[in-house]
Every structure is written in C-alpha cells, then in structure tokens.
Structure 1
Amino acid sequence: MKELKVFERNKIPLEVKILGIATYIQTSSVRRTAKILSEIHPVSKSSVHRWIKKFKKLPITTEKNKEI
C-alpha cells in the first residue's frame, strides 16, 4: 500500500487504515467501522469513508486459476 501512495497524510497509521478497509468490507458500515477502529486509534466515519473511496479507485485485478 505504501508503494501505491493511496493516502497522502500519515496522521493515522497505515495499519489502522488497512484494518479499517478490511473491517468495512466485512461489516459494510462506515459508522460501525469507525466505532471499532476508535478502540485502537481515534477515527471519524468521514475518514473511513474517504479511505473506502480511495480503495475502490485502485486498479485491482484478480486472476482465476485455470488449472482446477
């Protein structure tokens, strides 16, 4: 993630941001994700929302295994 330079600022640790994206994928709730992350580091729901928007813009490709 550091090489992709997705996040401009470093106010919140990168590990918390990645955990936030993973938690959002599981819960589908920005509010719940922010509440969970606030146990580790103070995070607003608007911050989580911005991270999700940036994550969705990443050019992520998946390759299917054709040998199965």
Structure 2
Amino acid sequence: MTLASPQDALRENAYLRQRVAQLQDDVTAITAEAERLRQIVERLHGRAPQAAPNPLGGGQ
C-alpha cells in the first residue's frame, strides 16, 4: 500500500495505534474471563485453586 502524503501516513499510524490498544484491552479482558472460568471449574470439581506461577520468579 502506498500512502499519498505524510498526513495519510500519520492518519494510518494513529488508526493502527488505536486498534492495537483496543486489541490489547480485548486480550486482557479475555484473559481475565478465562481465569474466572477456570476458578469456577476448579470450585465445581472440588479442587483448591492454585496460584499461577510467577513468570518473574525464575522458576525457583
């Protein structure tokens, strides 16, 4: 795609930044919903919920 002017490039960049922000919000919401549903399933099956591993903990 060839942009006709610098203004077109700026407009496209602004649009893409907005879309990325929206999609990041969507991913965050879906992740939270998945965690909530996982906890419900664990409660229904009588298992104690386990804390998610800390990715910054170095696995120790």
TM-score by length of 1: 0.27
TM-score by length of 2: 0.30
Radius of gyration: which is bigger?
2
